[in-house]
Structure 1
Amino acid sequence: MTPQALRDLLEEKLDHPDRPAAAASRGDGDLDGRVIPSGARLNQAAVLAPLILHDGPPRFLFTMRAAHLTKHAGQISFPGGRREPGETLAQTALRETHEEIGITPDHVEILGCFDPYETVTAFQVTPFVGVVKPGYTVTPDHREVSEVFETPFDFLMNAANHERHEMEFRGKIRRFWAMPWQERYIWGATAGMLKALHDRLFGDR
């Protein structure tokens, strides 16, 4: 798929960035059954899936969280975080991307958003896809991010690479999506969002 064809597909299939869906349709319990009590109060958050369409095949940028963090240390994620008062979710995704990896909002064109994702830590996370414009600079905030790296879009959107893994957590077996790529282990909420994006673009197949 050419970069322009991919861009056209995303613009067709994604929700308008100013009108994200109100209810989450994906979450950490997708493979286990619902794990968040119905009616639970969820914190609003957003992430940006930074998509590079120039200088080679399409690919996403990811961060690896710093090893010293008390939560989710060493895990792979998209840049993002909790919404602050007065922000739209799209603004949250852009602000967090700037703070975490140094890419300024003027170097990102948001194409849309897709299925909000509920986490067992009581967040409803809205993922946005944003095309990163040429001339951007990556400057990770090493208080939060140990590494920024790229992974091919075609690999992540290939259903053959969507693996079902499991682990014991607090005495229970938890099942989750994983997309191991080279020496990186993309799993959990990030892999779940990628699976949701795949299903949105290409159908649940």
Structure 2
Amino acid sequence: MKKATKKDILEIHKLFIDRYSDAVTELKYKNAYELVVAVALSAQCTDKRVNILTPKLFEMYPNPKELAVADLDDIKALINSCSFFNNKAKNIIAMAQRVVEVYNGEIPMNEKELITLGGVGQKTANVVMIEYTGANLMAVDTHVFRVSHRLGLSDDKTATKTEATLVRKFKNNLHALHQGMVLFGRYICTAKNPKCDECFLTEFCKTKETFKV
């Protein structure tokens, strides 16, 4: 597959920022605690599904202190329509317990500390930091991975390597780029039947022949 040129990268950067500079996550949350839980639940699960589950969860467990002492089966019952709900239930309880024990009930807004929490890997930590603090970080989910490959920005085989490549190539406004690439991949450059007629990046697409644009 052809790679994007330096000129392409600059133009793609500008087009994403122009279009998505004000973009935010579609996950619904009121504070850092709710955001961490929502992002953790959203792994391999749609934001729409997470937004259906979390109101009841947050009503019953409004803070880390309450969630830390929750019954595992009760949490499983609340999130059982979410993918991998058994592991996610264990993880968010473990997350809350560490937040209470180590951070006095306050979510740490530092990526290195965030990844010490149950169920919070690098991607989740970066998403939380991007959304909550506007940090100049990149997070690679399935949408960002797909878009970056279709645009010739990366040919890396893993999300972690793709993240490093995008950070190196784009350098700044990464928070807006991340949000933009997520929304672009979710609604336009979809995995199946991408809406190429609605795409504003067609001239940079390296796979458009596949979709008969």
Instruction: Name the TM-score, length of structure 1 as normaliser.
Output: 0.24
More helix per residue: 1 or 2? 2
| Higher Rg | 2
More strand per residue: 1 or 2? 1
